[in-house]
Amino acid sequence: GYHANRWKNLLIPYSSPKKAYFDTSDHDPFCMYNYLLDITTWNKNIRRGFIKVKIIDYAGNTVESQMNSEASTFQQYKRVKILTGFHRDIEKIAKISLTFSTKTLIGPKHKLRILQMKLKSLNNPER
């Protein structure tokens, strides 16, 4: 992705036409910080639902992602990759919290048992 304030300098040198898509937030300064959430679950039954991610730094600052618009399917020992965005960047993460929701008001509540999880910054891949 390209930061909106630098897109011209990055795209103009290309001779062929390019499309550029910019993610924005509804919070000032309107930029999004994207992360790739890579999850492996160990539930025996298939679970389908939505993940919300909350990250906290060592000073206690918290930022929460938006709920994904499409449900993900979680199967035992299968990796699922989810693109998630935050309106603010947290440089040194102390804690990660996930909330799993099926968005149904009736019926049984299900837990999502996480075997392995990795959160990678796409804006700062060296982290």
Looking at residue 26, its pLDDT comes to: 67
Q: What mean pLDDT comes out for the span 8-21?
A: 59
Q: Rounded distance, CA 122 to CA 101, Å?
A: 25
What is the domain partition of the chain in residue ranges? 24-121
pTM of the full predicted structure? 0.70
Q: What mean pLDDT comes out for the span 116-123?
A: 89
In the structure, what pLDDT confidence band is assigned to residue 110 with cuts at 50, 70 and 90?
Answer: confident
Domain 24-121 indexed as CATH 2.60.60.20: yes
Q: Is the dihedral of CA 10, 16, 17, 20 positive or negative?
A: negative
